[in-house]
Structure 1
Amino acid sequence: MARRRKRIPALEHIDEAALAEFRAGLRRRYSDDEILAELRASAERLGRSPTMREFAADPEARVHPQTVIEHFGSWNGAKRAAGLAPRRFISREEMVRQLRELGEELGRVPTSRDIEERRGRMVSKSLIWHTFGSLTDALREAGFDVPSGEERVERAVRQGAHLARTLGRLPTMADWKAARSEDASLPSEWQVYRMIEIDTGPWAAFQFLIREQLLEEGVTVAPDGAVDRV
């Protein structure tokens, strides 16, 4: 479960206009030409157009990559302005490494939205799709447990059966939400809802699948959904 960010009282009193002026002042520390010169110098030292990671690791570079992006909108945009060709080709191994590092940063399996939010900092979604065929395949190659659609439903049903035996009844969406607050490995109740591709009554269909699983396990399920506790 995502951790709620604590509100910091001091941040609530920041003057937005003053903050914008402060940021603009930081940007004025380096002119566009100075930043472009830093990029060209780094490329000369490396012998190739630097990635953002390589530029950040360059001990002689005086500018932070984020400053470059703030001035030019994107990393590749800055490199084009500097006359450096963007590194369009990235190895499969490098993509896998980036996905693993993103997963470590997030503490969970990355999503396409996570990748999109880091545009300019890591490989693009389109290149991942082109290289691996799908994000799911890329994540699996990076070592993440990403079940297929059918596997996800089967896993959720098994989890639902376990929860039903604990509750003594077939779980409602509210039951599932409460259980997920204690066990982050469970998908959210809305993820489960969308897994069951039925136009009407997806949750009832999910409860039906749970009941079938319980009956297969030899557990008695009453017509009202009551379940023998085990």
Structure 2
Amino acid sequence: MPGDRPSPLDGVDPEELARFQAGIRRRHAPEQILEELRACAARVGRSPTMREFAADPQTTVHPQTVIEHFGTWNRAKRRAGLVPRRFATREELLGLLRDLGEQLGRAPTARDLDERRGRLPSKSLYGHMFGSLGNALREAGFDVPLGSDRLERAIGQGVALSRQLGRLPRFADWAEARRADASLYTEWQVYRMFESRRGAWSTFQFLIAKRLEAAGETLSTDGRLGRA
């Protein structure tokens, strides 16, 4: 009867099958597969899903081949230095921040994450997991001041830059100084400390001026130091 026909799998020798599968896997070196994952991530701008990887016309490996080599899709992405988009653990996310901080020599910023899209998680994922990127950085061991502490530090940076420039810093001055000194807050971080409201930068300049005056400095009406 048709139902009694032997299955083509019935006579398969498991050891012979394993040798055949191993030979198939050797046709794609693990590092080649990992490089294809990284290249695909760079093209799509994020850690790719299996569907995105399969749809990428420049990939030469099928997602199933990736899984056969590494066990799971997410394990392969971790080996490639990519973070699984939905299954990253808190400790993995914190570890990536610590690694990036070690590379940069400072606490990472949202801009640092944006510049590494596809290789690192987005700031929105950190916000979802930890409440904010700042919370994640603090949990990872970085010195990230809260609220008034951040503003206090920014004012101190503004005082130092004012003395260097001989006047209160303008927005463009700060941007240029930040490019030379990554320890400074970015101009936009300072701006957002005042909730990005109208007059935010002049309010910041006012606070710097008051701090300079308290230290015995004199300022002219146009913000230059050393003039009455």
- Is TM-score (shorter-chain normalized) higher than 0.5? yes
Residues 23-42 of structure 1: CA distance to partner in whole angstroms, max 9, x if unpaired?
85x733x4444334334xx3
CA distance in structure 2 between the partners assigned to 1:129 and 1:156 by the alignment:
23
- Larger radius of gyration between Structure 1 and Structure 2: 2
CA contact (8 A) 2:175 2:186 kept: yes
Q: Which runs of 5+ in 2 are unaligned?
A: 1-55
Query: Which residue pairs with 2:65 in the alignment?
Result: 34
Shift of 1:211: 0.9
Structure 1 residue runs of 4+, over 6 Å off?
A: none
1:51 aligned residue: 75
- Give the distance between the partners of 2:197 and 2:169, measured in 1 at CA: 20
Instruction: Give the aligned partner of residue 19 of structure 2.
Output: none
Structure 1 unaligned residues grouped into runs of 5+: 1-22, 44-48, 57-64, 77-85
1:210 deviates by: 0.7
Q: 1:59-92 CA distances to partner (integer Å, 9 max, x unpaired)?
A: xxxxxx59xx9xxxx967xxxxxxxxx8x473x4
Match of 1:194 among 177, 192, 198: 192
Given that 1:103 and 1:110 are in contact with CA atoms closer than 8 Å, whether structure 2 keeps it comes out as no
* CA–CA distance in structure 1, aligned partners of residues 95 and 217 of structure 2: 45
> Aligned AA for 2:59?
R
The DSSP-based 3-state class of the residue aligned with 1:155 is helix
Contact 2:67 2:76 in 1 (8 A): no
| Residue of structure 2 equivalent to 1:114 | 113
1:82-161 maps to which residues of 2 (within 5 A)?
A: 88=87, 90=89, 92-105=90-103, 108=106, 109-111=108-110, 114=113, 118=117, 128-129=126-127, 131-161=129-159
The reply on whether 1:167 has 2:198 as its aligned counterpart is no
Q: Which residue pairs with 1:216 in the alignment? A: 214
Name the stretch that deviates more: 203-212 or 95-104: 95-104
Residue 180 of structure 2 aligns with which residue? 182
Residue identity in the other structure for 1:51: R
8 Å CA contact 2:110, 2:123 repeated in 1 = no
Cα distance in structure 1, aligned partners of 2:113 and 2:204: 29
Measured in 2, the distance between the counterparts of 1:207 and 1:124 equals 32
TM-score of the two chains, using structure 2 as the length reference: 0.57
Question: What is the TM-score with the length of structure 1 in the denominator?
Answer: 0.56
**Distance in 2 separating the partners of 1:212 and 1:115:** 35
Contact 1:99–1:139 under 8 Å retained in 2: yes
Query: For 2:181 and 2:221, how far apart are their aligned partners in 1?
Result: 28
Say what the alpha-carbon RMSD is for the aligned residues: 3.8
Matched residue count? 171
